[in-house]
Chain A
Amino acid sequence: MATRSVVICSVLLATLSFAYSASAQVQPPAGTTPGRPVEAAAPISTEERLAIERTILSDARIRAIVGEGQPRITTSDVEFDKAEAEAFLAGRSTTLPTRRVTIVLINPQTQQAARALIEPSQGRIITVESIAASEAPFLHEDAEEALALAKADPNVRRAVGDTLDRYVILESGSEAGVPFAAQPLPLRSTDPRDVCSINRCVDLIFRTGNGYLEFRAHVDLTRRTVEIHTDTGGLHR
């Protein structure tokens, strides 16, 4: 009996020992994106994003800030609670830290903006606050709107020529060989005489296979105006 117990215990211990040593190896779970902490900052899923949008758009506090109409929504990448992450790294907790995302909403009609901190796994809104419109980053929709305004501008059409309608907004980081790419450069002025100290302004630059065209379309998204900006006269001594 005693001998049999020793054998059984030995087998069990050996098995557990192997399991523990295996768990000590650095083995990213299958499907892990390189450079991304597992779960702690895993990107939000489409389902989570849709749930978040439903939650925030129906939140009375957010509606009270941005007003009626369809706001534009930006989502940060996932971050995590530092205290929870510390507890996990210190071995005081075995629960991975909570994922959090920051949502910013801006209503293009009212130019009112709000920021909310969300726990995507629960669809829970942690905080809501009103922010200045200038705290809302520019979105792909803003770039598309700027390009549409530029395409409708006769001066831009004259400067670009017949290919203007073929330009598309090129996503940052894209290696796509787009033959006619427009790229947005959001800007802000400090000069109180410049409307871009208040309004949402963006410069568009235009790239072909031969390089950039030598002007920028300066678009005021708030006033919906477009100007051509060319070389300001820098000099070689």
Chain B
Amino acid sequence: MIGSSQFRHCIPAVISLMVAAEIAIAQPIPSVVPFSLAQFQLFCPSAITQSFPTVGPAQTTWLICWREVAGYNSIADPNGLVIGPVYFRKSPNAPFIRILWDLRVSEYFVPYHPGSPRFYDLSLFNFKLTGVTTADCPPAVGGTPISAHVCKEVHDRGLMWKDFGGVRRGEQIVLWGAIDAANYRYIQEYTFRDDGVIIGRMGATGQNLPGARLTAHAHNAIWRIDIDLDGVINNAARLRHVENPVNPAGTANDTAIPISVAEGFTWSPRAHDAVEITNPALRNGQNHLSSYHLVPLVTGGGLTQHFERFTRNEFWVTPYSGAQFAAKNLPTYIAGSPPVTNRDIVVWYKGSLHHNPRDEDGVFDHSHNWIGTADLMWTGFMLLPHDLFDCSPFYKPCP
């Protein structure tokens, strides 16, 4: 039996151990914004920890929380594969930095060229993720179904760099699921690369609309990106490449226009429009302000606009609100021009697919049965780190 006086002798040592352990667990590495790895794991027990390279000592590491939302109100809380919070560690001794709080598709809006029908393929009904199997997600390509509806793939991503000194291939982790929207399937794909890049894509596939098999239409995906670059105090700026092609001097200029109030604006293929997200407290080892750039990944060279006001802009910046998830309500979210400087902000991006039906989608047989399926078409966006690393990642040690 342990006497109380003997136990009291242990108390200082026990406290020391608990404090040390708490530091080791809760804050394995110091961060600008405090971060408890233990509580992250408790909050999100199915979180994925993925280090790169996958062979050899880790250089970069992602902590990715993911979940399936399958409620009955996709206006208030859009269904599907939801990503976040997400943290990134740019080197083995660096702190984990929060990049995302909540990333998801808010809407798939599909207007047909005759003006009708106009489908809201995510918000107006409780469309949910459909199943994935090893046929979707084969181990041979690094695939692992991590739930009945979500596939994880870890694999090579092609060349990372190639110069006079050599070459290196990169790697990535991809999470995806597919929304079952009756005749269509929408692939919700999120890629996290070894170099800190995040890519979100929509893939549209399935059966052309019965009764309108040959009618052209557009598939618009609007993503709600609650980005938290090392915390919620962030800023946004509009980046543009300005160049007059008839100016014989051939000069060009890049501009960064701070976004001070909530607004929406369009993407121009000539101006390389992008949105820069910064945290005034986050700088890299070069003492440069770190940022992520939201860059469109456009398929087919253009993005469609429609009568609905929420489709008139590719980019939107709004202040965070836990009650604002509906892309179709974006014009109301920016009404009154609420400030977004040094705030918790949400950026939204609309990508489009123009679907002009083709025989490859299918044809009618002699009994007027449709035979065929539409192969996947893709569009999406990239979140590109800018001055986050101290020098080229996966190259020589930083000078």
- Interface segment among A51-59, A148-156, A187-195: the answer is A187-195
User: Does A8 lie within 8 Å of B45, measured CB to CB?
Assistant: no
Q: Chain A contacts of B21 at CB under 8 A?
A: 16-17, 20-21
- What is the total of A-B residue contacts with beta carbons within 8 Å? 259
Contact check: which of A96, A100, A102 meets B43 at CB < 8 Å? A96
Q: For B24, list chain A residues within 8 Å (CB).
A: 24
- Asked if B167 is at the interface (CB within 8 A of a chain A CB), the reply is no
CA distance A82 to B9 in the complex (A): 42
Quick check: B69 and A214 within 8 Å, CB to CB?
Answer: no
Do A191 and B115 have beta carbons less than 8 Å apart? yes
Q: Which residues on the A side are within 8 Å of B398 (C-beta)?
A: none
> Are B126 and A8 in contact, CB atoms less than 8 angstroms apart?
no
Residues A199-235 near B (CB distance < 8 A): 203, 205-206, 210-216, 218, 229-235
Determine the chain B residues whose CB is within 8 A of the CB of A172 once the complex forms.
Answer: 125-128, 130, 179-182
Closest to B306 in A: A190
Q: A68 on the interface (CB 8 Å rule)?
A: no
C-beta contact mask, B171-213 vs A, less than 8 Å → 1, else 0? 0000000011111000000000000000000000001011111
Contact B117 A187 (CB under 8 A): yes
Consensus secondary structure, chain B interface: loop
B359 on the A face (CB < 8 A): yes
Among B25-33, B235-243, B248-256, the stretch that binds chain A is: B25-33
Binding stretch for chain A, among B10-18, B158-166, B280-288 = B10-18
Residues of A within 8 A of B35 (CB): 89-91
B44 within 8 A of A: yes
Bound form: Cα–Cα A117–B323 in Å: 9
A9 partner residues in chain B, CB cutoff 8 A: 9-10, 13-14
Contact in complex: A77, B43 (CB < 8 Å): no
Inter-chain contact B124/A188, CB cutoff 8 Å: yes
In this assembly, does B135 line the interface, its C-beta being within 8 Å of a C-beta of chain A?
no
Closest residue on chain B to residue A102 by CB atoms: B76
B-facing residues in A1-27 (Cβ within 8 Å): 1, 4-5, 8-9, 12-13, 16-17, 20-21, 23-24, 26-27
Residue pair A211, B75 in contact (C-beta under 8 Å):
no
Bound complex: CA A218 to CA B257 (Å): 47
Q: Is the CB of B2 within 8 A of A8?
A: yes
Measured between alpha carbons, how far is A29 from B129 in the docked complex, in Å? 24
* A216 CB contacts on chain B under 8 angstroms: 117, 209-212
Q: Is B259 an interface residue (CB 8 A)?
A: no
A40: which of B43, B76, B128 is its contact (CB, 8 Å)?
Answer: B43
Contacts of B77 in A (CB 8 A): 76-77, 79, 102
Binds A, one of B54-62, B142-150, B261-269, B293-301: B142-150
Find A27's partner among B45, B72, B210, B214 (CB 8 Å cutoff). Answer: B45
A27-53 vs B, Cβ < 8 Å mask (1 yes, 0 no): 111001011111011000000000000
Q: Given contacts A74-B73, A191-B116, A212-B183, are A231 and B212 in contact (CB under 8 A)?
A: yes
CA distance A88 to B39 in the complex (A): 7
Which of A21, A117, A232 has the most chain B CB atoms closer than 10 A to its own CB? A232
- Shortest CB distance A68–B (Å): 23
Of residues 93 through 146 on chain B, the ones whose CB sits less than 8 Å from some CB of chain A are: 101, 112-121, 123-131, 146
Please determine whether B125 and A34 come into contact, CB atoms closer than 8 angstroms: no
A167 within 8 A of partner (CB): no
- For residue B190, give the distance in angstroms from its CB to the closest CB of chain A: 13
A138 at the B interface (CB under 8 A): yes
A231 in contact with B213 (CB, 8 Å): yes
Report A190 CB to chain B, min CB distance, Å: 5
Q: How far is the CB of A89 from chain B (nearest CB, A)?
A: 6
Once the chains bind, are B215 and A34 in contact (CB under 8 Å)?
A: no
Given contacts A91-B34, A137-B124, A211-B369, whether A37 and B75 have CB atoms under 8 Å apart is no
Asked whether A165 is an interface residue with its Cβ less than 8 Å from the other chain, the reply is no
CB distance from A189 to the nearest CB of B (A): 6
| Bound-state Cα–Cα, A187 to B7, Å | 70
With beta carbons under 8 angstroms apart, the residue of A8, A137, A191 that contacts B74 is: A137
Q: Which chain A residues border B101 with CB–CB below 8 Å? A: 82
Q: Mark A178-189, 1 if CB is under 8 A from B, else 0.
A: 000001111111
B36 within 8 A of A: yes
B331 to chain A, nearest CB (A): 14
Would you list which residues of chain B between 66 and 92 have a CB under 8 Å from chain A? Answer: 66-77, 79, 85
Inter-chain contacts of B44 with A (CB < 8 A) = 37-38
Taking a contact as CB atoms under 8 Å apart, the answer to whether B45 and A28 are in contact is yes
Cross-chain contact A173 with B70 (CB below 8 angstroms) = yes
- Most chain A beta-carbon contacts within 10 A, residue among B40, B124, B179: B124
With A137-B123, A189-B118 already in contact, 20 other A-B pairs whose C-beta atoms are closer than 8 Å: A13-B10, A16-B21, A36-B68, A37-B44, A38-B44, A76-B72, A79-B322, A172-B181, A189-B115, A203-B117, A205-B211, A206-B210, A211-B207, A214-B213, A216-B209, A229-B117, A230-B211, A232-B112, A234-B212, A236-B214
Residues of A with Cβ closer than 8 Å to B?
1, 4-5, 8-9, 12-13, 16-17, 20-21, 23-24, 26-29, 32, 34-38, 40-41, 74-79, 81-82, 85-86, 88-92, 94, 96, 100-102, 104, 115, 117, 135, 137-140, 143, 171-175, 183-191, 194, 196, 203, 205-206, 210-216, 218, 229-236
**B-side interface residues toward A, CB under 8 Å?**
2, 6-7, 9-10, 13-14, 17-18, 21, 24-27, 33-47, 49, 65-77, 79, 85, 101, 112-121, 123-131, 146-147, 149-150, 179-183, 207, 209-216, 232, 307-308, 320, 322-323, 344, 357, 359, 368-371
- 4 tightest A-B CB contacts, nearest first: A234-B214, A28-B45, A77-B71, A91-B36
